[in-house]
């Protein structure tokens, strides 16, 4: 999946939404990247997209980017 600006979503990315809430990409099914707490065995069945652990909505699966999602920081 790519963000609205065209950059590829990656594990550990920090994103911000228009309401000011933030989130962390905890797995990118498209790039086959999974965090220790969100394994491929647990989430690989989704087949595409990313999972974002958000401050306001909890864990959210996106197959396509949300138009107000902005990448604010890449993981170290």
Give the pLDDT confidence of 32-68 residue by residue, as tens digits: 999 999 999 999 999 999 999 999 999 999 999 888 8
Residue 40, phi then psi, degrees to nearest 5: -60, -40
Q: CA-to-CA distance for 48 and 22, rounded, in angstroms?
A: 22
Residue 75: predicted pLDDT: 85
The residue extents of the domains of the chain are 14-73
Residue 76: predicted pLDDT: 77
Q: Which residue has the tokens 């958000």?
A: 54
DSSP E strand boundaries for the chain:
14-16, 22-28, 33-34, 50-54, 58-62, 70-73
Q: CA-to-CA distance for 19 and 43, rounded, in angstroms?
A: 27
């Amino acid at each position: 999946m790519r963000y609205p600006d065209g950059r590829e979503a990656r594990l550990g990315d920090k994103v911000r939404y228009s309401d000011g809430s933030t989130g962390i990409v905890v797995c990118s099914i498209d790039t086959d990247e999974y965090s220790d707490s969100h394994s491929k065995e647990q989430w690989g069945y989704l087949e595409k997209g990313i999972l974002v652990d958000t401050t306001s909505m909890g864990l959210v699966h996106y197959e396509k980017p949300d138009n107000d999602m902005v990448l604010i920081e890449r993981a170290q």
